[in-house]
Amino acid sequence: MIQQIAFAEIPVTVQDLGETLVAREFRAPASVITANRTVVTSQITALIEEITVDVGDEVEKGQLLVKLDQADTRLALAEAEAALAALDAQLLDARQRLRRAEDLLERSFVSEDELDVRRTEVSVIEANRERQLVAIRDARLALARTEVRSPFEAAIVQRQGQVGNLATPGTPLLTLVQTAGREVDAEVDPRHSDQLKGASDLRFVSNGQAWPVELARLSAVIETDTRKVRGRFHFPDAVAPIGATGEVVWREPSSMVPVSLIVQRGTELGIFVASDGRARFVAIPTAQEGRPAEVDLPVDTPIVTRGHVRLQDGDAVQITRE
């Protein structure tokens, strides 16, 4: 008589596949950049009278940075305005002479040639007056340029000008870095560019800190030197320091099971599912040792999450749902 041996059921814990899936995480080297780094220069020739800021200061748009000596520009403006007043007087006199000539012409006391001379005289003075108005605008612009103001919100990173030095057009005075509108510049692997567009949990990570970011634009061109595509991200809330380096990190939801659930049976890697009191080994052809693997199973498939290490295909199991 052959005695049958009853094998004890192996206790296992199961969980629906959809509850075990993990998201794939991707990384791209990145740094925080600013829209503008500007060297503020003088636009006129004048002595530097005062520099109101120093390295490390943060300034508002339109804030006074450097004051140049105004003596020459004020004098030029006064001379231009005086010349305009003289031309106004000349024009008034010329127009009066023209009117008298027109009256005399009607009584035949002057010739047409004399009248043409008066008209030409008025036209010449009017043209000179227009040129003088331009000169006044130039003088006022030069005076305004004695006060050098910040073109945007910025931080002062370098001071080149010195009080008492003579500045000429193009003389560097200060270097500014725009503090608003900063972005994260990242080098993205082209294989991940499509995944990035629908990614979740986007963040910039640097020195153990993380800041949420949002994709602003992604280049369609693969750069020849790095073989990467350029991605730009902006900060919706808190911003990282300009110049900070780190990584842009994002996750892509996917049907990947964690490494802890993958076991090897024979030469194949896979997972165990359990139903009707039996365990079944499901091989994953694309699985690699030490990495999460993508599976093509319904999300409600009961996956063995505990006790799977000692299972064999077909083992009787006592199932507990997690």
pLDDT band at 108 (very low <50, low <70, confident <90, very high): low
Report the SS3 class of residue 254. Answer: strand
Answer whether residue 7 shows pLDDT above 70.
Answer: no
- Identify whether residues 138 and 191 lie together within a single domain: no
- Identify whether residues 249 and 220 lie together within a single domain: yes
Residue 203: domain span: 23-37+180-253
The pLDDT, as a whole number, for residue 64 is 97
Which secondary structure element, helix H or strand E, spans residue 157, and what is its range?
strand 154-159
| Look-up of token digits 């997690």 | 322
Mean pLDDT of 185-190: 93
**Phi then psi for 244, rounded to 5 degrees?**
-65, 140
Does residue 292 lie within any of the structural domains? yes
Q: Judge whether 240 and 211 are in contact, CB under 8 Å.
A: yes
Please give the biggest Cα pair distance in the chain. 158
Q: Domain of 215: which CATH number? A: 2.40.30.170
Amino acid letter, residue 80: A
The pLDDT, as a whole number, for residue 3 is 47
Cα separation, 129 vs 268, in Å, equals 95
Tokens of 195: 């995944």
Answer whether residue 111 shows pLDDT above 80.
Answer: no
**Phi then psi for 53, rounded to 5 degrees?**
-130, 170
Look at the chain and report how many structural domains it folds into: 4
Out of 90-99, 136-145, 300-309, pick the least confident.
Answer: 90-99
The pLDDT, as a whole number, for residue 292 is 87
- Identify whether residues 79 and 196 lie together within a single domain: no
Answer whether residue 211 shows pLDDT above 70.
Answer: yes
Q: Judge whether 119 and 95 are in contact, CB under 8 Å.
A: no
- Identify whether residues 187 and 219 lie together within a single domain: yes
Q: Judge whether 28 and 186 are in contact, CB under 8 Å.
A: yes
Which secondary structure element, helix H or strand E, spans residue 161, and what is its range?
none
- Identify whether residues 97 and 212 lie together within a single domain: no
Tell me what the pLDDT averaged over the chain comes to: 90
Report the SS3 class of residue 198. Answer: coil
Residue after which a domain boundary falls, among 157, 178, 199: 178
Does residue 5 lie within any of the structural domains? no
pTM for this prediction: 0.64
- Identify whether residues 241 and 282 lie together within a single domain: no
Does residue 27 lie within any of the structural domains? yes
Residue after which a domain boundary falls, among 142, 168, 197: 142
| Look-up of token digits 């020849």 | 224
Answer whether residue 78 shows pLDDT above 70.
Answer: yes
